[in-house]
Chains A and B, each alone.
Chain A
């Protein structure tokens, strides 16, 4: 991972259960805000979290140019992690994220998580072909986004969705 930590006034270290969920092969959705206020949204693939609490998610570049440009320009980031099997979910937010090159450590972990994600899709009724198609990424087109979560929200659907952790 990048040596230079992203500066964050009060980073939140994710509790073990949410770290486990984020790395369990769940759906990863990345959001930001365009210069004109447009909500920007992309689908990530794979997540790593280091001991310092830094979150690193992979994202295909091609379909997400506007999102990456916004993040590069200093727009805030929101990332939601969702388990396929039971929809348990949480959202992290940070004021700033850094765009990095994918490194050699990323791809095996992404492959592992994508395999779990596909297993989840098969479990809920999709064919293996459909599951692999859903997760298809151009490996050469991936970038990594790094950030320290400043806010964490429980996002599991229902009346409690949006409750901030530790507040």
Chain B
């Protein structure tokens, strides 16, 4: 290894425009091509994406040598790295991480097959040369990521409720990391769709918005259980657009590329999505974005991964504590002023208030169950335990994320409905607060509700 350390060049690996790679064949004929990713693989290793069997790939297999130029986007220093090919990985964390990033870009273009990563070619960095010295200094007074991580984790450790946990997380990102736009999404175990339970910084909260598995950077991060970071969305998308245009002309596919279906910044420049896991299983995604280019680098990814890890651990702990049998509380008398018709459709468990859509899925089924209980017996107090044990809701035995669904339901009611609220009534308990008479209808039911 050289005096220059690859760890100090991680931001340069992000590049300014696509990095440039030179290889030679056995006869010494050079080949110069662009590459989409120079991935940090360790203090002395980088990985390049192997997507197509082209001249570059043939040369690498012949001579095992390559030279790549990278540019630090902040200091604009150019570096030349002499590489020696070591091996190609087709599985494992490095491969999955590169595949996830590629898939995240591809998902926005609807060209997942063309962007398929065949392998992560790992190279040992034999020499690092400074081709052009830095022309600008890194930004001064950059906040300490370690200190921000520590403060945010401390905020999470102090939370006793799941909802507070999500809000403290997005608050910590804003106040400690200076990340203005962030979201927490929770995974639906059955469908693996992700639904938004907390957001910060957006004009509308977007709570309840859904992302399908594999859709965009969020869906891909969840599906692959790997963080995805796009430091310069315009550049990455243009790189993707160049590939997809060629692929279309080649007849590889002809569908129209999809736009980002998820609400958020209209023109983000950087995005990062990190899986939230419990015992290694993905239960959600922490997502952040920025209108700055290269806002999230390797250092931010590492810091936010620690925060997401802490979030997952706290979620597990709070759920286990929530399993404890709660004390009974007396029911409050419901207020009655005016009336609203609430319709429930079993087919997708959707609930409408006077014809306006409120929610669907498991959260819709929960709402319908407690409204029927309230209608039949006048109950306003419920426990999460009874919901977990209700076979009608068909919640999975493990990782059902019931608390997250209740948060979603409560926030949707707060946003969309003046006549009904749900509030916490203690650990494992919640209270229904009707503000008018509720008329329940189930149009597609075989028999009318009781």
**Chain A positions near chain B (C-beta within 8 angstroms):** 27, 29-33, 37-43, 60, 63-64, 75-80, 82, 84-89, 91, 93, 121, 124-126, 129-130, 133-134, 136, 153, 155-162
Contacts and interface: CB of A to CB of B under 8 A. Distances in A.
Nearest to A85: B238
A87 B239 contact: yes
Contact of A125 (B80, B82, B131, B235): B235
A127 to B, nearest CB: 9
Contacts, number: 160
Contact of A41 (B22, B234, B246): B22
- Top 5 A-B pairs, shortest CB-CB distance: A158-B246, A41-B22, A133-B135, A87-B242, A31-B30
A130 B71 CA distance: 11
B132 interface: yes
Nearest to B31: A78
Given A33-B28, A86-B241, 11 more contacts: A32-B30, A39-B22, A41-B22, A43-B69, A43-B131, A63-B129, A86-B238, A86-B242, A130-B16, A130-B136, A134-B71
Contacts of A134: 16, 71, 76
A38 B31 CA distance: 12
Interface stretch (B32-40, B274-282, B358-366, B410-418): B32-40
Contact of A27 (B17, B28, B73): B17
Given A38-B65, A38-B82, A159-B252, A87 B34 contact: yes
Contact of A39 (B18, B24, B76, B129): B24
A134 B78 CA distance: 9
A33 B30 contact: yes
B141 interface: no
Interface of B: 16-18, 20-24, 28-34, 36, 52, 54-55, 63, 65-69, 71, 73, 76, 78, 80, 82, 114, 129, 131-132, 135-136, 232, 234-235, 238-239, 241-247, 249-250, 252, 269, 293
A163 B99 CA distance: 25
Contact of B246 (A43, A82, A84, A159): A159
Contact of A91 (B32, B80, B129, B269): B32
A161 B17 contact: no
Contacts of B244: 158
A87 B31 contact: no
A136 B135 contact: yes
Nearest to B126: A38
A27 B34 CA distance: 11
B16 A121 contact: yes
Contacts of B80: 41, 63
A102 B20 CA distance: 25
Nearest to A134: B76
20 contacts: A27-B20, A29-B69, A31-B22, A31-B32, A33-B28, A41-B32, A63-B132, A78-B31, A80-B20, A86-B238, A86-B241, A121-B17, A134-B76, A136-B132, A136-B135, A155-B34, A156-B246, A157-B36, A158-B245, A161-B246
Contact of A159 (B67, B247, B269): B247
Nearest to B232: A125
Given A39-B65, A87-B238, A80 B250 contact: no
A144 B242 CA distance: 30
B63 to A, nearest CB: 6
Contacts of B250: 158-160
Given A124-B234, A125-B234, A37 B28 contact: yes
Contact of A76 (B20, B28, B135, B246): B28
